[in-house]
Amino acid sequence: MGTPVLILGDSGAGKTYSLRNVQPDNTILLQCIPKLLPFRSTGWKLHGKVLGDGTRQHGNIFRFDDWNRIGELITRFGTHPTKRVLIIDDFQVVMQHENMMRAYQTGFQKFTEMADHVWQLITAATLLPDDFRVYFLCHTEESDGKVRMKTIGKMLNEKLTPEGYFSIVLRCIKKDGKHVFLIKGDDHDTAKAPPDMFPALTEMDNDLHAVDTAITEFMTDL
């Protein structure tokens, strides 16, 4: 079973910056919104970029937001000979852009369908081989007194509770001028992780590579 991980945080909280130590050779990054990486790295290359000789670059950064194409990418990722980490940044855009494209459709059925699309993508991540990890990076919102994953409204929240499909939910916050991952929240937060994965920690430096190492070591111990 693949391991889906939900990374939550407001804009500027350090979600994408947490990728700074991730190994590009082992990773595929899907950008649902095209943007510059907030750190220097020579290992990331845009897939499909037209080079000077007219050929297209084979890279590890993809850019699209269609849920169908994302599902296909997750499935293909599961057959990759070397890469084991897929990062989707920012995942909530998949819902937001589909909602805008269907803005003139009437009725409630479209909300059920959009919830189903998100559920299908999370489920696809769990169906990957055991050593594959998929990180869903998402913005946050406050709903019913809880900080949770941003969706497109209360109606979709009632159709789907995304956090319930993840065993690991980390939240990016700023504390004392530093970016950290909140590992364990209170009753007003959805952050969670298996207790033995980050023993005695309620927060840590927002280093996704360190998180990925802890996850792989924990899964090996099972």
- Torsion, CA 165, CA 138, CA 184, CA 14, rounded to 10: 160
Can you name the CATH fold of 3-221? Rossmann fold (3.40.50)
Answer for the pair 63, 69: CB distance below 8 angstroms, yes or no. Answer: no
Tens-level pLDDT at each residue, the chain (222 residues): 899 999 999 988 899 999 999 999 999 999 999 999 999 888 999 999 999 999 999 999 999 999 999 999 999 999 999 999 999 999 989 988 988 888 888 888 888 888 889 999 999 999 999 999 999 999 998 877 788 888 876 666 666 778 888 999 999 999 888 999 999 877 788 899 998 899 888 999 999 999 999 999 998 654
Provide the residue count of the chain.
222
Scanning the chain, the segments in alpha helix (DSSP H) are 67-77, 92-101, 109-126, 154-159, 208-221
Strands (E), the chain: 3-9, 27-31, 61-63, 85-89, 133-138, 140-143, 146-149, 168-175, 178-182, 203-205
Nearest-angstrom CA–CA distance, 163 and 88: 16
